[in-house]
């Protein structure tokens, strides 16, 4: 499953949100990747997410594979929305 989202936090994808994304993604036994520009990182990696330095208002894409793909994307969407 894939979903395009916008980072709405005025601080962009900062440490607190990145940490919550990692926690949400880690609850599920799925592969979930976050795409930003020409980069892709594992959404279960705090260092990977922080390395993207995504500013506010930018589009990202989540791609999850597995039985719980829809659930993990919905959880992460709530954190970014």
Check residue 59 and report its DSSP letter.
E
Catalytic residue of the set 3, 14, 20, 74: 14
**5 flagged as catalytic:** no
Using DSSP's 3-state secondary structure scheme, residue 39 falls into: strand
19-44: burial string, b at 16+ Cβ within 10 Å, e else: eebbebbeebebebbbbbeeeebebb
Q: Which residues are tagged catalytic?
A: 14
């Amino acid at each position: 499953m894939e979903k395009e989202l916008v980072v709405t936090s005025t601080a962009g994808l900062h440490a607190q949100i990145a940490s919550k994304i990692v926690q949400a993604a880690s609850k599920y036994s799925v592969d979930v990747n976050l795409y930003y520009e020409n980069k892709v990182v594992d959404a279960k990696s705090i260092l990977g997410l922080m390395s993207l330095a995504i500013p506010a208002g930018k589009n990202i894409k989540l791609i999850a594979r597995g039985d719980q793909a829809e659930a993990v994307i919905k959880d992460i969407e709530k954190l970014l929305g």
